[in-house]
Amino acid sequence: GAVVSQHPSWVICKSGTSVKIECRSLDFQATTMFWYRQFPKQSLMLMATSNEGSKATYEQGVEKDKFLINHASLTLSTLTVTSAHPEDSSFYICSARGPGPTYNEQFFGPGTRLTVL
Amino acid sequence: GNSVTQMEGPVTLSEEAFLTINCTYTATGYPSLFWYVQYPGEGLQLLLKATKADDKGSNKGFEATYRKETTSFHLEKGSVQVSDSAVYFCALAYQKVTFGTGTKLQVIP
């Protein structure tokens, strides 16, 4: 149980285009999902907290207009990187807060590798 | 605020050696503690967890004990294998998850 998927697993796009990454909780409802960014050989940086039916809460320094987050249902959150540039190339990982007794635990998706040319 | 401090890597060990990766934390409240493992090119996988003081998490030969008195959650394994080569992240969860910087482990045959 508590499986989180991400799609796509990797994407290559041209500079200036927008890319959407999906995060789904497959076998549980996730009222809260999180988006992280990981640079090579570094730890995960929390970008934003996504709550179902409300606006995302962004961490300091993360551009809201560049990284659009939508959490339209209890099983799906999306991250859209708008007008992507090479410096946005990174590994993006989502997680979902666990159900019931695992509320204090997060379950991670496999990540999406974004390369902007 | 909450923070997690891990020993810096990389750590290089021979197969069957004993592994310790140190992790200490500072936190308000009563966090849960986790070790995650990340294999090259993949996302994070939960390795083990402990939700209260003196709990011992264990999985795949790895162990870690939640020590409130020393605010530590050190990861240990008695005999590492080449397949254990990965990056290991210590983390605490209290409303949000706070990660350590990760420790790369390389096990050589």
For residue B44, which residues of chain A lie inside 8 Å, CB to CB? Answer: 44, 93, 95, 108
B109 to chain A, minimum CA–CA distance in Å? 23
- Inter-chain touch A108–B41, beta carbons under 8 Å: no
Q: Which of A49, A93, A113 sits opposite B44 (nearest CB)?
A: A93
DSSP one-letter string for A39-94: -TTS-EEEEEEEETTS--EEPTT--TTTEEEEEEETTEEEEEE-S--GGG-EEEEE
Over residues A10-22, the mean pLDDT reads 97
Higher-scoring residue by pLDDT: A99, B51:
B51
Q: Over pLDDT 90: what percentage of chain A?
A: 66
The overall average pLDDT reported for chain A is 90
User: Over the stretch A100-113, which tens digit does the pLDDT of each residue have?
Assistant: 766 667 888 999 99
Q: Tell me, what DSSP letter sits at residue B45? A: E
Cα(A102)–Cα(A106) distance, rounded to whole angstroms?
8
Mean pLDDT computed over A5-30? 94
Tokens of B99: 């990660």
Q: Is B83 on the interface with A (CB under 8 A)?
A: no
| Cross-strand pairs, A34 | A49, A95
Whether B92 contacts B1, CB under 8 Å? no
pLDDT, position B44: 85
Q: What is the Cα B96 distance to its own chain's centre?
A: 17
Class of residue B101 by CB neighbours under 10 A (exposed 0-12, middle 13-18, buried 19+): middle
**Average pLDDT, 10 consecutive residues per value, chain B (109 residues):** 89 97 91 92 88 95 96 97 96 86 94
Measured distance CA(A23)–CA(A45) in Å, rounded:
17
CB of B1 within 8 Å of any CB in chain A?
Answer: no
Alpha carbon of A64: minimum distance to chain B alpha carbons (Å): 19
Please enumerate in sequence order all residues whose Cβ is within 8 A of that of A50, keeping only pairs 6 or more positions apart, or say none: A32, A33, A34, A35, A56, A69, A70, A71, A77
